Structure 1
Amino acid sequence: MPYKILVVDDEPDLELLVRQRFRKQIREKEFEFVFAHNGLEALEKLQQDRTIDIVLSDINMPVMDGLTLLSKINEINPVLKAVIVSAYGDMENIRTAMNRGAFDFLTKPIDFQDFEITLNKTLQQLLTLKQALKARDQLMAIQQELSIATRIQQSILPRTFPPFPHRKEFDIFAEMIPAREVGGDFYDFFLIDDDRLGFVIADVSGKGVPAAIYMAVSRTLLKAAASNGLSAGECLQRVNQMLCAEGDTAMFVTVFYGILHTRTGGVEYCNGGHNPPYLLRADGGAAPLETTGDMVLGIMGNMEYGTKRITLRPGDGLFLYTDGVTEAVDGAGDFFSDERLCQLLQQSNSSPLTEIVQGVINEVKRFSTGVPQSDDITVLALRYLQQ
């Protein structure tokens, strides 16, 4: 079945140019193009045909402009991806369009090679989103089968260590202890390319199957955004936009996402409302990492997310965790606390990562002896080994 693209532009020659440029894909039924001459006509076509995948729209048009069209697209189909076309240098309108949910933009006069690249990139993102939604629907269908959902969730998280035995520049280890059969925390790590390692830890609001569903969607969207080579802040901004497009304001997720540059030890990161990780220095020091001050994901779709950078020296590391660690309580109702965690990390800083992670988890369990675990406990530790 071909991907269906709606092109919205009031220039009469554009339809002929598009059909000519993509004649091979049209003939081989890879693409099917539909055309409209203004935003109102486009809305009518979208309402009549729910199989349209992408909208490519000019901004300046009669009857209804492209920005107004963008604001209405999500009401019809939140999965639709929109690419806007604007005059070169019209950054104000382009910025407005991106804030209203546009996935990407092109400038006039249209470069059809750039058009094709943008189209393919958008289709790849759309495919990833549909896979995430399919995963969500599959999980929703087995809400009563918590034991099955548990195995699905555990299979989503990387559990083979060392994960990249051929890579000697870094070491990484992680573990999650869910509070119920299915939890809302997750961690992940993946090679973006030969020189960059992406790593993430996150905590979804709520517990049980709904949190696990949201976790699966969030993780898939983040990994897809990261694969596009975006900065840490741009990545979380893209994921936030997609989560907000889903419209489920009852849930949100805190996320810390970092990118280790394996050749230099440089780390760029963005913190979306998550607990600040600890920076573990090779000399034994442990201190919270400076936050970027960004908001949790899934509440406000027009938020911008920043990126900060640090450099790890050989032997330095990062310790990421969720609030199930520091907010674990003992029989007297006292928290495990950030202070206790910091002291523990200073004492075990030079230990292998497996011992650091398991040592923290064991200490939290010992601290909370006799008290039911009320939140997921998730920990990820990373160490830079050499330049």
Structure 2
Amino acid sequence: MPDGVVAAPPAELSPDDPLAGYLLEAAGAVDIRHLDLNSPALKALKDAGVVVVVPMISAGSPIGMIGLGPRKSEREYTIDDRHLLTALARYAAPAIRVGQLVREQKAEALRRERIDQQLNVARLVQRQFLPKSLPDLPGWQVATFYRPALRVGGDFYDFIPLPGGRVMVVIGDVADKGLPAALVMASTHALLRAAAPRLICPGAVLGKVNELLYGDTPAHIFVTCLALLLDHASGQVTFANAGHDVPYVRTADGVAELRAKGMPLGLMPGMSYEEKTFRFRPGDRALLHSDGLSEAHGPGREMFGFHRVAALAGRGASGQDLLDMCLRELAAFTGPGYEQEDDITLLSLERMPREPTDPPSPAGGAR
């Protein structure tokens, strides 16, 4: 290296700057004093007193440059000086690139570690709000299944006890992933728990929760939710639906749908939710589910679909048998090596057939 060389401060060089292309083509030390390009980087280098720039290139890509000011001896840089600088840059560039890759890998590892920590917190939040046990409903059989996806979603379900021995069954899904979904799920769960005992009616409960979520939820996040008010003694249910997957009921006459109109929660203010009723007869069984089942994709990107869910709802010797059958059919549909795309939540609610010694139930009530 010639004595008295003064290194100038580095300049930012974007890939679309004309100087970047010029240096890549030159592939050696360049005297920039008489270089005329419409380049912000070139202007900055000249303003800093740089007279010679040496590009640092690795694997055909520029990774930086060396900028040198005038020599203290006021002599010009000779051809030998430039050859030496170019050779040094060629030796240094691969080592610098390796250092850059190591830093990038460390940054990526830290980013992934932070994401994993967030996912672990989200999973913990999600599981904390799932019921620890199933409700004791005389004359009914309840079965549930929940399996989170690799990326945490926002599925939830609950059995909220109400006055008079009734219970509100809720199942929902937050339209997002990760920690935000888990936090919105926790908030929705708490709001449902607070509103249900006061308002009782499923439509009113969903309307109240919708208003509260709309003001406090990010614009891109919303919640689908089904609320079903069950009088287990009579078999009467009143239900409302905020955009959630339609439940299916196996009856003696075939598979029925519990349809009610309503927008997802947190999407628009001032929403009302249609309420409908259904009376479970002994032997009737409902399948409540999230879109982790119906929207799962097979190898050809075909969706599992509601028609398959409806067909499964009419099968199975028991509620648990039905849920197991859903999972077996899903596994056969998606094939080996399938990576679950979304949380899967299944809930079976069956009114058990009466024993021969049981007294007949009172007549009346719409189906």
What TM bracket, shorter-length normalisation? 0.5 to 0.7
- Structure-to-structure mapping, 1:269-348, within 5 angstroms: 269-281=239-251, 283=252, 285-289=254-258, 291-348=259-316
CA offsets, 1:121-180, max 9 Å, x none?
xxxxxxxxxxxxxxxxxxxx998343243233213101424x32xx32322121111112
- 1:375 pairs with 2:345: no
CA offsets, 1:13-47, max 9 Å, x none?
xxxxxxxxxxxxxxxxxxxxxxxxxxxxxxxxxxx
- 1:151 pairs with 2:155: no
* Offset, 1:284: 6.8
- Could you tell me whether the CA contact under 8 Å between 2:129 and 2:156 is conserved in 1? no
* Offset, 1:205: 0.5
Aligned counterparts of 2:155 and 2:141: Cα–Cα separation in 1: 22
Q: Secondary structure at the match of 2:270?
A: coil
- 1:189 pairs with 2:189: no
- Could you tell me whether the CA contact under 8 Å between 1:327 and 1:337 is conserved in 2? yes
Amino acid at match of 1:171: Q
- Could you tell me whether the CA contact under 8 Å between 1:361 and 1:377 is conserved in 2? no
Cα distance 1:142–1:330, how it changes in 2: closer, same or farther (>3 A)? Answer: closer
Which residue, 321, 332, 336 being the options, matches 1:366? 332
Cα distance 1:247–1:216, how it changes in 2: closer, same or farther (>3 A)? Answer: closer
- Could you tell me whether the CA contact under 8 Å between 1:174 and 1:187 is conserved in 2? no
Q: What TM-score do you get using the length of structure 2 for normalisation?
A: 0.61
Aligned counterparts of 1:179 and 1:160: Cα–Cα separation in 2: 22
Cα distance 1:143–1:219, how it changes in 2: closer, same or farther (>3 A)? Answer: farther
- Structure-to-structure mapping, 1:40-119, within 5 angstroms: none
Cα distance 1:322–1:247, how it changes in 2: closer, same or farther (>3 A)? Answer: closer
Q: In the alignment, which residue of structure 2 is the partner of 1:384?
A: 351
Cα distance 1:367–1:159, how it changes in 2: closer, same or farther (>3 A)? Answer: farther
* Offset, 1:363: 1.9
Q: In the alignment, which residue of structure 1 is the partner of 2:133?
A: 160
Amino acid at match of 2:142: I
Q: In the alignment, which residue of structure 2 is the partner of 1:102?
A: none
- Could you tell me whether the CA contact under 8 Å between 1:225 and 1:235 is conserved in 2? yes
- Could you tell me whether the CA contact under 8 Å between 1:180 and 1:207 is conserved in 2? no
Amino acid at match of 2:311: Q
Cα distance 1:299–1:193, how it changes in 2: closer, same or farther (>3 A)? Answer: same
- Could you tell me whether the CA contact under 8 Å between 1:329 and 1:336 is conserved in 2? yes
Q: In the alignment, which residue of structure 1 is the partner of 2:228?
A: 258
Aligned residues: 240
Q: Secondary structure at the match of 2:315?
A: helix
Q: In the alignment, which residue of structure 2 is the partner of 1:15?
A: none
- Could you tell me whether the CA contact under 8 Å between 1:277 and 1:318 is conserved in 2? yes
Amino acid at match of 1:287: A
- Could you tell me whether the CA contact under 8 Å between 1:234 and 1:306 is conserved in 2? no
Aligned counterparts of 1:329 and 1:170: Cα–Cα separation in 2: 33
Cα distance 1:361–1:194, how it changes in 2: closer, same or farther (>3 A)? Answer: farther
Aligned counterparts of 1:361 and 1:213: Cα–Cα separation in 2: 27
* Offset, 1:263: 2.1
- Could you tell me whether the CA contact under 8 Å between 2:249 and 2:313 is conserved in 1? no
Segments of structure 1 that go 5 or more residues without pairing to the other structure are: 1-140
Aligned counterparts of 2:339 and 2:145: Cα–Cα separation in 1: 19
Aligned counterparts of 2:306 and 2:286: Cα–Cα separation in 1: 15
Cα distance 1:145–1:335, how it changes in 2: closer, same or farther (>3 A)? Answer: closer
* Offset, 1:305: 1.5
CA offsets, 1:89-135, max 9 Å, x none?
xxxxxxxxxxxxxxxxxxxxxxxxxxxxxxxxxxxxxxxxxxxxxxx
How big is the alpha-carbon RMSD for the aligned residues of Structure 1 and Structure 2? 2.1
Aligned counterparts of 1:144 and 1:169: Cα–Cα separation in 2: 44
- 1:240 pairs with 2:210: yes
Aligned counterparts of 2:231 and 2:186: Cα–Cα separation in 1: 26
Aligned counterparts of 1:374 and 1:156: Cα–Cα separation in 2: 21
Amino acid at match of 1:280: R
Aligned counterparts of 1:377 and 1:247: Cα–Cα separation in 2: 23
Q: In the alignment, which residue of structure 1 is the partner of 2:22?
A: none
Q: In the alignment, which residue of structure 2 is the partner of 1:177?
A: 147
Deviates more, 1:214-223 or 1:183-192: 183-192
Amino acid at match of 1:332: G
* Offset, 1:247: 4.6
- Could you tell me whether the CA contact under 8 Å between 1:199 and 1:257 is conserved in 2? yes
Q: In the alignment, which residue of structure 2 is the partner of 1:57?
A: none
Question: Could you tell me the percent identity over the aligned residues?
Answer: 35
Q: In the alignment, which residue of structure 1 is the partner of 2:321?
A: 355
Amino acid at match of 2:126: Q
Segments of structure 2 that go 5 or more residues without pairing to the other structure are: 1-113, 355-360, 362-367
